[in-house]
Amino acid sequence: MKIIQDIHELRATVRAWRQAGERIAFVPTMGNLHQGHFSLIDVAHQQADRVIASIFVNPMQFGPTEDLDNYPRTLQQDCDGLIAHQADAVFTPTPQLMYPRGLDVQSYVEVPKLGDHHCGSSRAGHFRGVSTIVTKLFNLVQPDVACFGQKDYQQLAIIRQMVEDLSMPIEIIGVPTSRAEDGLALSSRNGYLSAEQRAVAPALYQSLQWLKAQLQTGTGDLRALEQQTKQRLVDAGFRPDYLNISHRQTLEPASSTAEPLVVLAAAYLGSTRLIDNIEI
């Protein structure tokens, strides 16, 4: 596997693959890889001849009080895992390479509406940072297909809309959320949990499953069900950030169970913020 830190080497590598008539799949990550990331690599192999990942902790998507400095960086371990899953290359740029003029004067990409609620309302500027870095990486790698996890449901919807709006010739594939045996969605931030918090953490997905069962009956006030589910989280030891029953395409608040629904949730255990979702 090639470890690429230079844009010129990246473009030369991709150009050689393209000239050989090979189809390219891309998996962008922030590192600290786990089985959920590796499942994206495995799906990418099913879609293309060549698979390239990126590892970049993107400062543009972190708020001033968020965990940028403490975000786990495990490059050697990540590369070992990518080799085991037969990735062809990994691009590992620095912030100076990606934002040479600094964030204050960096051009950006922003997708309206889809980022207004959920994580967008509680993490100001987050999705602008995501869409900007993904656009830059897409421009550099120019893949035929890119794989993203459905755990970050809102992010996936925003990237799909961005690709459509900007006429990017890239197929976006959403890969189902990887979970531990007890249902907890795999996440790099799970490593922040204490043993006691880790034992409590599966209650987030269990609460979503409970809500799904209520919604599948087709009855009940949606806003009241949201509040009931939040209370279940509070009772389990969480501090809810949001829990929203939304229209699956627009991500706007749903008004009835006749719509295609998704429940999006974020909640804190101590200082660790966990997210999850469930389609109805």
- Active-site residue set: 37
What is the DSSP track for 20-57?
TT--EEEEEE-S---HHHHHHHHHHHHH-SEEEEEE--
Name which of 17, 14, 23 is nearest 54 in CA terms: 14
CA distance 119 to 8: 35
| Residue 103 three-state SS | helix
Are 109 and 132 a contacting pair, CB within 8 Å?
yes
CA distance 201 to 219: 28
CA distance 185 to 153: 12
Name which of 134, 27, 29 is nearest 73 in CA terms: 29
Are 266 and 275 a contacting pair, CB within 8 Å?
yes
Helices (H), the chain: 7-19, 35-47, 75-84, 95-98, 119-122, 126-141, 153-165, 195-200, 203-215, 222-236
Supply the DSSP symbol for 105.
G
CA angle 105, 110, 114 (to 5 degrees): 155
CA distance 240 to 234: 7
